[in-house]
Amino acid sequence: MVTTNDDRIVELVRMLIKHGGRDKYNVDHVGYNARLDTLQAAIVLAKLNYIDEFNGKRQEIGKQYTHGLKGIGGLAVPGELPGTSHVYHQYTIRVLDGKRDDLQ
């Protein structure tokens, strides 16, 4: 499922659900044909009512991780681009300078 208010993303997603093309003969991207079954669709529709609450909770947890990891040298935490907000599907950190084993 994709939600957006960006017309460019809407156009791209519409192409992707048609196997990457604007029409049957003009394909610009590798697309998909993935459909939810009835039960999955019902769950997504029910959860969509709470998406702002879910995203807010993820953002709060992300902020706690960022605060807790602050000051650890050689570590890069997720950031946000201007005008965006991260919902942290995953909170992925990068260990710089090949010192992963040291961090462990």
pTM, full prediction: 0.62
SS3 10: helix
pLDDT at 32: 67
Percent above pLDDT 90 for the chain: 44
The string of pLDDT tens digits covering residues 58-79 is 999 999 999 999 888 888 999 8
> Which range has highest mean pLDDT (3-7, 29-33, 62-66, 94-98)?
62-66
- Which two three-digit tokens encode residue 46? 């029910």
Q: At CA 67, angle to CA 65 and CA 72, rounded to 5?
A: 90
Please tell me which residue, 83 or 1, carries the higher pLDDT value. 83
Least confident of 62-66, 75-79, 84-88, 96-100: 96-100
